[in-house]
Amino acid sequence: MRQPATSARAATPSAPGSVGDVRKANLVRVLSVIAAAGEDQRLSRADIAQLSQLTKASVSSLVADLLAAGLVIEIGVHRDGERGRPSVGLILNPTRCVMGMEINVDYIAAGLVDLKGKLLAHGILPRTNHGSTASEVLTALGELSQTLQEAARSQGLMILGGGLAVPGLVQEDQFTVLQAPNLGWVEQNLDVASLLPEPKTRFRLFNEANASALAQQQLMDAQDRDFLFVSGEVGIGGGLIIDAELFIGPQGHAGELGHVVIEPDGKRCSCGGRGCLETIAGQEAILAAAGLGAGTDNASRQERISQLYQALQSGTDVAVNAVAEAGKSLGVAVASALRLYNVSTVVFGGHFAALEQWLRPAMEASLHEHAPSIADQARLLRSPLGQTGALVGAARSVVGDLLEAPYQLVD
C-alpha cells in the first residue's frame, strides 16, 4: 500500500505514456492559469495562450472541454477604449464548490468553499466532542452538513467534493482516525459517506494542523512557498508546506512538533514520552504552570483560559512566566525544526496566535540563543486564521485536487 507520501495527491497518471496524457497535462495547465488570475481578472483565451505558452488554437480547444466540464464559465466583456475584437472573459465557475468540515475538541464546523478558495457560507456549532464516539459526532456533523447543502441548493451551488479535518493522526486512504487523544479517539473508522450529497467526486481526511497550514498558505504571498504552521490547540500540531505543497511524510504524520523533545529529563507526556514540547507549551501545561491546572475552582477549560488571559492582562507574574517558559521551549523546538526542515518561516496559530505578545519575546530570545546562525533570517508570524481555518484548508486542498485532475470531470 504505497502512499503518495510527500503530498498525498492523485499523482500524475503514471500509466501508459500516450498522446492523451498531453491533453490531460494541458487541461491542468490552462486551468491553473485561470485559477491563478486575480479576483477581478477575466482572462481571455488569448491571455491564457500567452501565459500558458500554448497556442491560441490549443487553448480554444482545451477551454471548450473545461466549459463542458462546468469548471469554467464565459463572461462577455467589452473592453472600452481599446481597438480590436473584444475578448470573452473566462473565470472559474462560481457555482461549483467543495464542503469543508472540522471536528475539534470544543466544536464542529462546516462550510462551502468555491473553486477560488473563498468561503461562501459556514456554520460553527459548539459541542463537547471529547468522549463522544465518532459516529455520534459524525451524526451531528451530518446535520450541520445538511443545513449547508440546503443553502447550496437555494443558491444554485453544486458541491463537488469534501474535506474533513480532525485534531489527530489520520490514515487518509481508509478514512480512519488513528489517534486523537484530545477527542479520546483511538482507531476510529469514520463513515463519511453520509456527509456529502451525490455526486461527490472526492472526499479527503486531514489532520487539523495540516489543513490549517493549507488555509494559511492562501494568506501568504505567492513567493512564500515554504513555511511551518504551528497550531496551538489543546495539543500542539504542525503542518509543513514545502515548495507550495503540503509535506506529510511517508505515513502522513510529519510535522508533529508537539512531541519534539525539549527537556530529555522533563515531565512525562501524554504520548508516553518525556520532555515533549506539549508538556511545557501545551494548553494544559501552560494553565498548570500558571496555577490554573485542571480542577482549579472546578472550572472548565474555557473558563480557566479566560482566567489566564485576565491574569496576563493584569500582569500577574505566575501567568506571565508560564507563558514565557512556553515561549522559550517553543523557541527551542522551532530551532530544531528549522534545522531539520530548512525552512525559515514559522506561522503560529490557535492559542499561540492569541498569546503572541506574551510568547514572542521569550521565543525570539530562545531561538537566537539556540540557533543564532539562522535566527536572523527566520520569520515568526502570527496567523489570523480563526475557527474556520481548518475547514477552509481541507476544502481548498480538495479544490486543488479537482483543479489538478480536471479530465476526471471532462466527458
The option from DNA, its own copies, none interacting with 318 (CB < 5 to 8 A, set by class) reads: none
Question: Helix (H, G, I), strand (E, B), or coil: what is residue 44?
Answer: coil
Task: Quote the least distance from Cβ 51 to DNA, whole Å.
Answer: 12
Q: Which letter, b or e, does each residue of 31-46 get, where b requires 16 or more Cβ atoms within 10 Å of its Cβ? A: bebbbebeeeebbbbe
Q: Is 32 in the site for DNA (CB under 7 A)?
A: no
Q: Which of 47, 102, 226, 284 binds its own copies (CB under 8 A)?
A: 226
d(CA 210, CA 256): 10
Nearer to DNA, 16 or 295 (CB): 16
Nearer to DNA, 20 or 126 (CB): 20
Q: Is 19 in the site for DNA (CB under 7 A)?
A: yes
Q: How many CB atoms lie within 10 A of CB 184?
A: 13
Q: Name the one range near its own copies by CB under 8 A: 15-23, 34-42, 141-149, 205-213.
A: 15-23
Do 231 and 278 contact (CB within 8 A), yes or no? no
Do 213 and 343 contact (CB within 8 A), yes or no? no
Question: Shortest CA distance to 191 belongs to which of 240, 235, 139?
Answer: 139
The option from its own copies, DNA, none interacting with 222 (CB < 5 to 8 A, set by class) reads: none
Record the cell numbers describing residue 169, joined without a space: 493522526
Task: Quote the least distance from Cβ 232 to its own copies, whole Å.
Answer: 17
Q: Which of 4, 20, 293, 372 binds DNA (CB under 7 A)?
A: 20
Question: Shortest CA distance to 353 belongs to which of 393, 318, 387, 325?
Answer: 387
CA distances from 376 to 271, 344, 356, 371, 380 (A): 33, 9, 19, 9, 11
Q: Which of 127, 204, 304, 328 binds its own copies (CB under 8 A)?
A: 328
Q: Which of 4, 86, 250, 384 binds DNA (CB under 7 A)?
A: 86
Record the cell numbers describing residue 17, joined without a space: 505514456
DSSP string, 173-204: GGTEEEEETTTTEEEEEP--GGGS-S---EEE
Nearer to its own copies, 207 or 283 (CB): 207
Q: Which of 283, 366, 388, 397 binds its own copies (CB under 8 A)?
A: 366
Exposed, middle or buried by CB within 10 Å (0-12, 13-18, 19+), for 238?
buried
The option from its own copies, DNA, none interacting with 82 (CB < 5 to 8 A, set by class) reads: DNA
The option from DNA, its own copies, none interacting with 362 (CB < 5 to 8 A, set by class) reads: none
Nearer to its own copies, 91 or 334 (CB): 334
Q: Is 362 in the site for its own copies (CB under 8 A)?
A: no
Nearer to its own copies, 17 or 295 (CB): 17
Record the cell numbers describing residue 61, joined without a space: 480547444
Question: Shortest CA distance to 231 belongs to which of 397, 347, 327?
Answer: 347
Identify residues 33-62 at the interface with DNA (CB under 7 A): 44-47, 53-58, 60-62
Element (H, E) at 376: none
Size of the site for its own copies (CB under 8 A): 71
Identify residues 39-58 at the interface with its own copies (CB under 8 A): 53-54
Task: Quote the least distance from Cβ 108 to its own copies, whole Å.
Answer: 27
The option from DNA, its own copies, none interacting with 87 (CB < 5 to 8 A, set by class) reads: DNA
Q: Is 61 in the site for its own copies (CB under 8 A)?
A: no
Q: Using CB under 7 A as the criterion, which residues of the chain lie in contact with DNA when the complex forms? A: 16-20, 22-23, 26, 44-47, 53-58, 60-62, 78, 80-88
